[in-house]
């Protein structure tokens, strides 16, 4: 597992305050911090890119999570699971080489695959 890798993706523009279940919109460049991963570098980059697109396209955390999950199910075969939020705990079982937990600014994203 790798811990706390800093990745800077250029330029950020955040809209004004939103309700708690909404996520700030921003241009496609934000600070990304990978907190924990058991995933190839290419798959990590894909997860970050898909997350950026989801955050651009959707406001609700559940919609962002759904989009990321569906994109990974399509590209890397089911069954992927995604949790998006600002405050959550977790304890999950995942397939080897199929887990990432990262932040896009202050939005936490946990993405993992199971065989079920």
Number of domains observed in the structure of the chain? 1
Residue 20 lies in a domain: no
Residues 86, 55: Cα–Cα separation, whole Å: 14
Closest Cα partner for 110 from 60, 74, 64? Answer: 64
| pLDDT tens sequence across 9-19 | 333 332 333 44
Residue 80 lies in a domain: yes
| pLDDT tens sequence across 32-71 | 999 999 999 999 999 999 999 999 999 999 999 999 999 9
Residue 56 lies in a domain: yes
Residue 105 lies in a domain: yes
Q: Residue 74's domain spans which residues? A: 32-114
Full strand arrangement of the beta sheet holding 31-39: 2-8, 31-39, 98-104, 107-113, 80-85
User: What CATH number did the domain enclosing 75 receive?
Assistant: 3.30.740.10
Residue 27 lies in a domain: no
pLDDT at 30: 80
Residue 15 lies in a domain: no
Residue 3 lies in a domain: no
Q: Indicate the pLDDT class of residue 27, thresholds 50, 70 and 90.
A: very low
Residue 78 lies in a domain: yes
């Amino acid at each position: 597992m790798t811990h706390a890798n800093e990745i800077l993706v250029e330029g950020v523009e955040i809209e004004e305050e939103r309700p708690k279940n909404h996520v700030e919109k921003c241009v496609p460049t934000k600070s990304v911090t990978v907190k924990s991963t058991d995933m190839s570098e290419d798959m990590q980059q894909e997860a970050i890119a898909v997350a950026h697109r989801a955050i651009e396209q959707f406001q609700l955390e559940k919609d962002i999570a759904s989009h990321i999950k569906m994109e990974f199910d399509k590209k890397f075969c089911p069954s992927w699971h995604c949790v998006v939020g600002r405050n959550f705990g977790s304890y999950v079982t995942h397939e080897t080489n199929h887990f990432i937990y990262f932040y896009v600014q202050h939005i936490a994203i946990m993405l993992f695959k199971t065989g079920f």
